[in-house]
Amino acid sequence: MTTRTYRPTAKNLQTLARLLARGQLVAAPTETVYGLAADALNPEACEKIFAAKNRPANDPLIIHIATLRQAAALARINPAAEKLAKKFWPGPLTLVLPKTDKVPPIVTSGLPSVAIRMPAHPHFRKLIQLSKRPLAAPSANPFGYVSPTTAAHVKNGLDGKIPAILDGGPCAIGLESTILDLRNPAKPVLLRPGAISREEISKLLKRPVRHIRKKSPAKQTAVLAPGLLTKHYSPKTPLNLVKKISARQAAAPCLFFQKPDKLPPSKNHFYLTTNGNLSEAAQNLFAQLRALDKKHFKEIHVELAPGKTALALAINDRLTRAAAKT
Ligand code: TXA
Ligand code: MG
């Protein structure tokens, strides 16, 4: 199969929406990362996602919708979900809710729940609107590898496996959405940290939000959301995570959080942000991990993001999974 890259013209968006309506796969940008989209109501189309990504069938997909009405057809929306949707949609928040019969089992890996998100990216929204279908879309990368934040990343991983990529430029956020389990609205659980923080959610819902990784055994995480396994987002280069890169470590290849200003320039030094800006660091993270993989270093020291803000926690979550060995 030849993989064609499309510019986001009105005509091309029509063409791609038609492909989706016919059960084909289209990779397209969201504000978080590029997604590999298929008609969520067409099981054969969704099967192609699993095949192209080499994704295990027990790792369920997120369904992307453009209106609350679409969401209500797929999930049983409780008042807490409604509140969050009003405040954070469209945006980088995915809600796990009890599913309706409309959702084919392949999308949820047979689970009685479904993950739903209303993306903010205008091109992705346009594809949902023009195809008139909710779109199932995981990140558009081979299973287990770093998520793509540009069309070139998608092409790199899935060339020959999918017919179409929509090139909408680099993703604004650069990290996957926050996932919140709201099956029981009295006890919301954060399944994956993202740009929307646990505190913001907790404040809006006026109740505590538990983080699944703090208390749950790995087995439980695997059953609830296999994609949240400890090892994920994995570059080939082994990463040695540190809080602060020491002068001695700086002799070896290093990925600093912020551009070091006291060290002599080195071609083995990389950084996520020039001035400590967390949004910039998040935007650059996956592209940097991919670029570093091409250097074939034996190992690289990687500095964690400072602080406890949503983006710092999300960056460090991805780095921790990327560094995990098994
Ligand atoms: O930002 C994002 O969320 C991106 C863009 C494309 O929207 N998508 C994304 O999808 O990151 P993916 O498939 O790479 O990660 C989705 C995660 C998986 O780890 C999966 O296990 C979890 O969502 N998930 C999906 N349905 C679930 C469900 N019913 N219950 C629990 N977890 C679920
Ligand atoms: Mg993924």
Burial, 306: exposed, middle or buried (Cβ in 10 Å; 0-12, 13-18, 19+)? middle
Q: Is the CB of 115 under 6 A from ligand 1?
A: yes
Q: Is the CB of 138 under 6 A from ligand 1?
A: yes
Angle of CA points 313, 95, 204, to nearest 5°:
70
Higher pLDDT among residues 219 and 13, named by residue: 13
Atom of ligand 1 nearest to the CA of 117: 7
Q: How far apart are CA 112 and CA 135, in angstroms?
A: 19
Q: Is the CB of 97 under 6 A from ligand 1?
A: no
Atom of ligand 1 nearest to the CA of 62: 25
In this structure, which residue's CA is closest to atom 29 in ligand 1?
114
Q: Where are the alpha helices (DSSP H) in the chain?
A: 10-21, 43-53, 68-74, 79-88, 105-108, 122-131, 151-158, 198-205, 212-215, 218-224, 278-293, 310-323
Q: Is the CB of 149 under 6 A from ligand 1?
A: no
The mean pLDDT of the chain is 94
Q: Is the CB of 32 under 6 A from ligand 1?
A: yes
Q: Is the CB of 128 under 6 A from ligand 1?
A: no
148 CA to centre of ligand 2 in angstroms? 9
| Residues contacting residue 311 through CB under 8 Å, at least 6 positions apart | 175, 195, 278, 279, 281, 282, 305
pLDDT in tens, 186-237: 999 999 999 999 999 999 999 999 998 654 555 555 556 655 666 666 788 9
Q: Which backbone phi and psi does 39 adopt, to 5 degrees?
A: -55, 115
Kindly report the pTM of this predicted structure: 0.95
How many whole angstroms from its chain centre is CA 255? 22
pLDDT in tens, 116-162: 999 999 999 999 999 999 999 999 999 989 999 999 999 999 999 99
293 CA to centre of ligand 1 in angstroms? 25
pLDDT in tens, 265-304: 899 999 999 999 999 999 999 999 999 999 999 999 999 9
